[in-house]
């Protein structure tokens, strides 16, 4: 079975071409391959499948085998995968996800995709929830970017002990369900800084849906303008609100290819 390792801002996934055949027990396969010591090493597994109305479909699994509905960095790499391998020559295409279809615009340079703009659709935000974890009080803004998030604004995301707080907040009963958790700051109206604890994967270098969730929460609280640069440990995403939808632009890169014996 051949695979491709790809990353968007260091958020890395193992990609399988499942257009004709899909391996058995994908959750278990995701766990085995994502292991960074005994497997390929990744934040999860993404299978590229025939579209259900769109051009292609993506099916994603986190490193712990749980299935995710949407991945902003992962879907950009799907666009690069299908273009660079000649599976499409459309620079604007639709990818079906468990959270619904997402439209992509591929930015091609020298015959290969360098970056991708994704119409992430509207991101819903709720009222802040006040809760306690590890003896500290937090105000968490629930957000839905195709998957559930909890946004916490703070003066310095770098100073947060994410490894300690992330697991507690992810499953906090006050939030109603397992969530990705973002600690974020808005140093000015054109920039967002954030760190992410991803449910099923832990601390990751970047999260596209997480950046969109923070952007939507910041817009709601008038912390930023309608266009920002979102800085994550793995790099920078450009986010823009157009009407009710959020558009995300960022890089996509192939790391290496291999074969699983």
φ/ψ of 32, rounded to 5, equals -65, -45
By 3-state DSSP, what share of the chain in percent is helix, strand and coil, each rounded to 5?
A: 20, 45, 35
Q: Are strands 56-62 and 67-68 parallel, antiparallel or unpaired?
A: antiparallel
Residue 184 burial (CB count, 10 A):
25
Phi-psi region of 79 (alpha: psi -120 to 50; beta: other; left: phi over 0): alpha
Helix, strand or coil, per DSSP, at residue 179: coil
Sign of the alpha-carbon dihedral angle for 235, 257, 95, 198: negative
Q: How far apart are CA 68 and CA 255, in angstroms?
A: 22
Q: Which residues are catalytic?
A: 71, 207
Instruction: Classify burial at 51, counting beta carbons within 10 Å of its beta carbon; exposed 0-12, middle 13-18, buried 19 or more.
Output: middle
Closest CA to 176 of 126, 231, 109: 126
Could you give the C-alpha distances from 243 to 118, 211, 240, in angstroms and in order? Answer: 15, 18, 10
Q: How far is CA 252 from the centre of its chain?
A: 12
């Amino acid at each position: 079975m051949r695979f491709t390792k790809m990353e968007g801002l260091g958020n890395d996934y193992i990609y399988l071409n499942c257009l004709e055949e899909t391996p058995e027990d994908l959750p278990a396969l995701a766990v085995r391959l994502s292991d960074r010591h005994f497997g390929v090493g990744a934040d999860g597994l993404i299978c590229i499948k025939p579209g259900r109305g769109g051009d292609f479909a993506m099916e994603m699994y986190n490193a712990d085998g749980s299935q995710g509905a949407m991945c902003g960095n992962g879907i950009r790499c799907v666009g690069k995968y299908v273009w660079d391998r000649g599976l499409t020559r459309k620079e604007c295409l639709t990818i079906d996800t468990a959270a619904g279809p997402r439209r992509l615009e591929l930015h091609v340079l020298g015959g290969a995709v360098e970056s991708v703009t994704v119409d992430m659709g509207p991101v819903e935000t709720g009222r802040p929830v006040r809760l306690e974890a590890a003896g500290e009080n937090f105000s968490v803004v629930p957000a839905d970017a195709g998957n559930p998030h909890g946004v916490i604004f703070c003066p310095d995301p770098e100073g947060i002990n994410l490894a300690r707080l992330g697991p507690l907040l992810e499953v906090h009963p006050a939030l109603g369900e397992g969530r990705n958790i973002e600690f974020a700051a808005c140093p000015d109206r054109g920039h967002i800084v954030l760190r992410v604890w991803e449910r099923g994967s832990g601390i990751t270098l970047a999260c596209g849906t997480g950046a969109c969730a923070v952007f939507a929460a910041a817009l709601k609280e008038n912390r930023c303008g309608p266009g920002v640069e979102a800085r994550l440990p793995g790099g920078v995403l450009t986010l823009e609100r157009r009407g009710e939808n959020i558009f995300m632009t960022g890089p996509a890169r192939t790391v290496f290819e291999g074969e699983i014996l």
